[in-house]
Amino acid sequence: MARRLIGLDVGTNAVTVAEIATGNPPRLNMFGQVALPRDAMREGEVADEGAVAEAIARLRTEVGLRRAGVRVGIASPRLIVRQVEMPVMSRDDLASALRFQAPDLIPFPVEEAAMDFAVLGTDTPEGGEPTMRVLLAAAQGATVQRLVAAVEAGGLIVDAVDLLPLALIRALGQPATAMGDHPGAEAIVSFGGGVTAIAVHEDRVPRFVRVLGTGGRELTEAIAAEVELPFDNAESLKRQLASPGDHLLTRARAAIDRPLAALIDDVRSSLDYYRNQPGAVPIVRVIITGGGSQLPGLAERLASTAGVPVEVARPRDLLTLGDIGFSEEDLPRLDPYIPGAVGLALGGAGIGTVVNLLPRGRGRVAGASSRSRAVVGAAAGAAVLIVLLAIPTLARQHQISNTKKDATKQLAQNDSLQRQINKLADARNAQLTLEQTRAEVQNVLASDVSWAKMLQELARTIPNDVWLTSFQGSVPPPTAGTGAATTTTTSTGTGGTTTTSGTPTTTAPPAAASNGTITFNAMGLDYASVSAWLQRVSTIPSFANVFVPNAALVQGDTRNTVSFSSTATITPAAHTDRLSKYEGTGK
């Protein structure tokens, strides 16, 4: 019986399963999806194994899937995907060489890593030795184990742990012949709930892979905060943004504008990173998919920002549909969710670039020749051991012979590895430069303050009989003795509101140990308003040591007011989470 090809995509908001039969085009024979509880997955990683397992068990029941082997996808910002150039060698030697170089390529201990690789092709430079282009993938072993444990607790068998970005290329990637007279690279961007996966390929060969730790969930949270709705209600409101709007929808659209712009800019930066690499082929179009791709106007905004035509994925055009239990009018709703699971299933047929992060000995994937050879080698070793124990004399001679061969082989391998190290000296220097740049970025983000959040807290807390005329804040420079404090000033008057930012010329930066200072200028109806200001503003988490150094009565035509200034120090609560997200520790 032919082995079933089933892909399981464990996303942020739902678990999706698809079964395909190979062909031209492939045939989709089974498809299903069930929702996941909020926070069961965080940034593409399992946070609640029980909730994920329960959803998978429910999905099996709904689609009638018995215990079967599946290929599971992983997409996390902590997923490491590198392309390295290596001398031409056998797969076994390549595995050993990559293991040796892994400490320079991945940011966590090798013994804690789940790793695999795929050879993308070979190059023969003019006058040089041929080399191989190798894609190395790695994730923390504990992350992979949690995913496998949750899937198997749900009643399925994990055949392989594949990369979701590679699955997207299999499901949606178009060959160069389909790109007209000017073939080039194609980018596929999947906007998920908690992550955004980006894959750039050339003729279905991956050239660049990145997973961002942001997605549609941040837009929902922005709506929930703006209109003061529970998260689930805000999610429903987000899905209605294309409808003719009342005041609530107008506020929701305004609420997502800033986080959506940040997400699009992150995607554009990732595409720019690829485009700036030496030898990069121009990107001729971008395909978007995932639940977030349904956001009205997303394709147009991304096209304008990235400077490349953007199309919404139509995966059903690339498949033959079997009887999957959905009516004709419901099929368009499936388009954003089909590619991940279908692409994972296609990996089981060895289509495209395939890797498997499943620990050794766990997978049942056809084509995993190195793992099969390891098992065969172990069995052969056991048989030889039995013979040697029975014939001590031959054993001694065999041992001496093997020792000499091993010593000769080890010396040759050492020479080969040393030549590789010499060739990779430039790469090492580039890595050191990257680490220095990363340290500089961390230094800057260490004092990054969310002025917008601070102003929102202030707007919600300020007494009704007090109005702000100006707001000035400063934080210490990233490194003591260098740079200048950042200042944001907001002035409100009859001419409207004006916001500027820059370097203060009259206010000295605070001491290095300080989180920063704030100066307010405000008007109140009377001195009781000033007292209310102190009481209310002191409750804001971003401020501490709120003080009013001066207040003065202002004579008016119809009534008197009180003009006063106030100061406060900035607390760590005002800092953004961009440093933790950059370091990969943010939730």
pLDDT at res. 204:
93
Q: In Å, what is the CA distance from 572 to each residue of 19, 469, 503, 540, 544?
A: 50, 25, 21, 12, 10
47 and 138 inside one domain: yes
132 and 233 inside one domain: yes
d(CA 101, CA 230): 48
Number of domains in the chain: 3
User: pLDDT for 372-425, tens place per residue?
Assistant: 333 333 333 333 333 333 334 334 444 544 454 455 456 555 655 665 666 566
Q: Are 267 and 302 in contact (CB under 8 A)?
A: yes
Q: What percent of the chain has pLDDT over 70?
A: 80
pLDDT at res. 33:
95
Short-list 215, 170, 208, CA closest to 190? 215
Residue 188 lies in a domain: yes
Q: Which of 443, 471, 499 is the last residue of a domain?
A: 443
Domain CATH code at residue 263 = 3.30.420.40
Reported pTM: 0.62
350 and 395 inside one domain: no
pLDDT at res. 116:
94
d(CA 177, CA 194): 34
pLDDT at res. 93:
92
Residue 479 in this model has a pLDDT that exceeds 70 = no
409 and 547 inside one domain: no
Q: In Å, what is the CA distance from 9 to each residue of 14, 38, 417?
A: 8, 16, 39
pLDDT at res. 486:
45
Residue 587 lies in a domain: no
Question: Confidence band (pLDDT; 50, 70, 90) for 32?
Answer: very high
> What single string gives the DSSP state of each residue in 483-519?
S--EEEEEEEETTEEEEEEE--SSSPPPPTT---EEE
Angle at 219 between CA 216 and CA 225, to 5 degrees: 145
Residue 585 lies in a domain: no
Lowest mean pLDDT among 181-185, 344-348, 476-480: 476-480
339 and 397 inside one domain: no
Residue 191 lies in a domain: yes
Residue 34 lies in a domain: yes
Provide the token pair at 188. 């596929």
Please give the residue range of the domain that contains residue 259: 5-359
Short-list 83, 169, 170, 176, CA closest to 132? 83
223 and 86 inside one domain: yes
Residue 512 in this model has a pLDDT that exceeds 60 = no
d(CA 151, CA 123): 40
Domain CATH code at residue 563 = 3.30.70
d(CA 51, CA 318): 33
Is 389 or 193 the better-scoring residue by pLDDT? 193
pLDDT at res. 560:
87
Is 311 or 497 the better-scoring residue by pLDDT? 311
312 and 378 inside one domain: no
459 and 417 inside one domain: no
pLDDT at res. 128:
79
332 and 435 inside one domain: no
Residue 132 lies in a domain: yes
User: pLDDT for 331-357, tens place per residue?
Assistant: 999 999 999 999 999 999 999 999 999
Average of pLDDT values for 19-45? Answer: 93
Whether the link from the prior residue into 478 is cis, omega within 30° of 0, is no
Q: Which of 359, 383, 401 is the last residue of a domain?
A: 359
Instruction: Please enumerate in sequence order all residues whose Cβ is within 8 A of that of 69, keeping only pairs 6 or more positions apart, or say none.
Output: 3, 4, 6, 156, 157, 158, 159, 364
Rank 367-376, 422-431, 471-480 by mean pLDDT and report only the highest: 471-480
134 and 181 inside one domain: yes
Is 167 or 395 the better-scoring residue by pLDDT? 167
Residue 253 in this model has a pLDDT that exceeds 50 = yes
Angle at 471 between CA 465 and CA 464, to 5 degrees: 15
End-to-end CA distance of the chain: 45
User: pLDDT for 90-142, tens place per residue?
Assistant: 999 999 998 888 888 888 888 899 999 999 999 887 777 889 999 999 999 99
Q: Are 576 and 560 in contact (CB under 8 A)?
A: no
506 and 419 inside one domain: no
Residue 73 neighbours by CB distance under 10 Å: 28
> What single string gives the DSSP state of each residue in 103-116?
HHH-SS-GGGEEEE
Q: Are 25 and 318 in contact (CB under 8 A)?
A: yes
Exposure of 382 by Cβ count < 10 A (0-12 exposed, 13-18 middle, 19+ buried)?
exposed
d(CA 166, CA 437): 29
> What single string gives the DSSP state of each residue in 218-273?
HHHHHHHHHHT--HHHHHHHHTTTTSPP-HHHHHHHHHHHHHHHHHHHHHHHHHHH
pLDDT at res. 483:
42
Residue 367 lies in a domain: no
195 and 225 inside one domain: yes
Residue 493 in this model has a pLDDT that exceeds 50 = no
d(CA 140, CA 147): 11
Q: Which residues pair with 138 in a beta bridge?
A: 80, 115
Q: Which of 425, 443, 461 is the last residue of a domain?
A: 443
Residue 290, sorted as left (phi over 0), alpha (psi -120 to 50) or beta, turns out to be left
Question: Which H or E run contains 457?
Answer: helix 451-461
pLDDT at res. 382:
33
Residue 76: strand, helix, or coil: coil
Residue 586 lies in a domain: no
Query: With the C-alpha atoms ordered 283, 284, 290, 294, is the resulting torsion angle positive or negative?
Result: positive
